[in-house]
Amino acid sequence: MGKVSVIAYITVAVLLLFLISHSPKKPPNQRHRRIKLRSSFSYYGGGDERHHHEPVAFDPLVAEIERRREDKQWEKMYIEHAHKDLVEEAPGAESQPEWEEFMDAEDYLNDEDKFNVTNRLVLLFPKLDVGPPDGYVTEHELTQWNLKQSEKVVMHRTQRDMELHDKNRDGFVSFAEYVPPSWVRNSDNTSFGYDMGWWKQEHFNASDADGDGLLNITEFNDFLHPADSKNPKLLQWLCKEEIRERDTDKDGKVNFKEFFHGLFDFVRNYDEEAHNSTHESDDSMEAPARKLFAQLDKDGDGYISHTELLPIIGKLHPSEHYYAKQQAEYIITQADADKDGRLTLTEMIESPYVFYSAIFNEDEEDYEYHDEFR
């Protein structure tokens, strides 16, 4: 990490101090709720994205704190692995990190004198209510907001990865520069998408939209998140990878059996989450699977080729937009008190913890327990 990052940390810290010292004073209530910062993330967005997707913080201020914590974790992990010998010479020195300043950040978020969720929502509402600004936040507005927040987080991670790979610091990643670090290579293969051929040159080439042999930040971000890319070459590559992965008899194509016992489950799960249908048994799913297979098999040769897979690739690899919409739908079902399908500022203020992820403690004692731990 360079000087720029250090300066960025300091700037944010000063900003936070400013906010703390200028917040209005109010008596605390709702002591049983506690806003939690999230601490887990995966180092490479790569292949495991469809298995678990962390929702992004609703409030940019919370996101900023989480981002700084993640950077610290990342930096520590990177330094540990880049200088393994150094760390091993000092056993136990950093084995149990205590993120004290982030504990403080969590305290800050939970101190209503300092971080008043009502005031935050009042402040944020006009930023959400933009299309059009009519006093209601619709599912679409909320989706766009969520998407903007998650794109910021994703791009930040990409920039961090870029710093790691762009060894000659020219702002581009060449294929030669793109050697996965040893700690990625040595870790669990499947979780980093080795089975997806993640590190292959073909993937790199497909991400290189203008074909100059180098990936700029946009292309590198696409490389790491192909499902969110608009680059047709990359989407085609993703389809090819999917076919390769599902082609169990290795004849280069996907037949109905391979489709039914693999791809179709993903499509079904996707549609279920979108349309809230009930779970069906394997037998009863065969007919709809055959129907979809026939629709996709445009040339009717009894196999799905990678071009025939393109219409459903978004269901196999859900995009950030999909998750942003899912999160928006969830928030609205939780906070829409009058059930008109949209949120007023009052509705939002009445359910603040739908927006601020919180753990719920039954009673005061539980709260004290957490208090002691800090």
Ligand X SMILES: *[C@@H]1O[C@H](CO)[C@@H](O)[C@H](O)[C@H]1NC(C)=O
In the complex, which residues of this chain contact ligand X (CB under 6 A)?
24, 26, 29, 112, 116, 118-119, 186, 189, 194, 201-202, 205, 209-210, 213, 216-219, 276
Q: Which is nearer to Ca ion, 62 or 335 (CB)?
A: 335
Count CB neighbours of 370 within 10 A.
13
Q: Tell me the CB-side half-sphere exposure of residue 325, using CA atoms within 13 A.
A: 10
170 part of the interface to Ca ion, by CB under 5 A: yes
Q: Which is nearer to ligand X, 118 or 319 (CB)?
A: 118
Residue 172 binding target from Ca ion, ligand X, none, CB below 5 to 8 Å by type: Ca ion
Residue with tokens 């899912």: 326
Q: Which is nearer to ligand X, 89 or 250 (CB)?
A: 250
Encoded tokens for 246: 């599902």
166 part of the interface to Ca ion, by CB under 5 A: yes
Q: What is the rounded distance in angstroms from the CA atom of residue 147 to the CA atom of residue 58?
A: 10
Q: Which is nearer to ligand X, 39 or 334 (CB)?
A: 334
Residue 219 binding target from Ca ion, ligand X, none, CB below 5 to 8 Å by type: ligand X
Neighbouring-strand partners of residue 144: none
CB 227 within 8 A of CB 236: no
Q: Which is nearer to ligand X, 112 or 228 (CB)?
A: 112
Q: How far is the CB of 150 from ligand X (least distance, A)?
A: 19
Q: How far is the CB of 62 from ligand X (least distance, A)?
A: 17
DSSP at 304: B
Q: Is 214 helix (H, G, I), strand (E, B) or coil?
A: strand
Element (H, E) at 217: helix 217-224
Q: What is the rounded distance in angstroms from the CA atom of residue 371 to the CA atom of residue 373?
A: 5
Q: What is the rounded distance in angstroms from the CA atom of residue 12 to the CA atom of residue 244?
A: 46
Residue 96 binding target from Ca ion, ligand X, none, CB below 5 to 8 Å by type: none
Q: Which is nearer to ligand X, 99 or 194 (CB)?
A: 194
Residue 170 binding target from ligand X, Ca ion, none, CB below 5 to 8 Å by type: Ca ion
Q: What is the rounded distance in angstroms from the CA atom of residue 138 to the CA atom of residue 121?
A: 15
CB 124 within 8 A of CB 59: yes
Contacting range for Ca ion; rule: CB under 5 A; set: 168-176, 287-295, 318-326, 362-370: 168-176
Q: How far is the CB of 43 from Ca ion (least distance, A)?
A: 20
- Contacts of 142 by beta carbon, 8 Å cutoff, 6+ apart: 128, 328, 331, 332, 343
Q: Which is nearer to Ca ion, 214 or 292 (CB)?
A: 214
Neighbouring-strand partners of residue 35: 358
Q: What is the rounded distance in angstroms from the CA atom of residue 361 to the CA atom of residue 196?
A: 42
Q: Which is nearer to Ca ion, 213 or 302 (CB)?
A: 213
Residue 78 binding target from ligand X, Ca ion, none, CB below 5 to 8 Å by type: none
Residue 303 binding target from ligand X, Ca ion, none, CB below 5 to 8 Å by type: none
Nearest Cα residue to 246 out of 232, 265, 233, 227: 265
Q: What is the rounded distance in angstroms from the CA atom of residue 339 to the CA atom of residue 54?
A: 27
Which position among 336, 345, 352, 356 is part of the footprint of Ca ion (CB under 5 A)? 336
Q: Which is nearer to ligand X, 174 or 255 (CB)?
A: 174
Closest CB to ligand X belongs to which residue?
26
Contacting range for Ca ion; rule: CB under 5 A; set: 1-9, 87-95, 113-121, 165-173: 165-173
Contacting range for Ca ion; rule: CB under 5 A; set: 106-114, 296-304, 333-341, 353-361: 333-341
C-alpha to C-alpha distances, 33 to 104, 123, 248, 339, 361, nearest whole angstrom: 17, 21, 50, 25, 6
Q: How far is the CB of 165 from ligand X (least distance, A)?
A: 16
Q: How far is the CB of 293 from ligand X (least distance, A)?
A: 27
Q: How far is the CB of 47 from Ca ion (least distance, A)?
A: 24
Q: What is the rounded distance in angstroms from the CA atom of residue 355 to the CA atom of residue 372?
A: 26
Q: What are phi and psi of 359, to 5 degrees?
A: -95, 150
Residue 168 binding target from ligand X, Ca ion, none, CB below 5 to 8 Å by type: Ca ion
| Contacting positions for Ca ion (CB under 5 A) | 166, 168, 170, 172, 336, 338, 340, 342
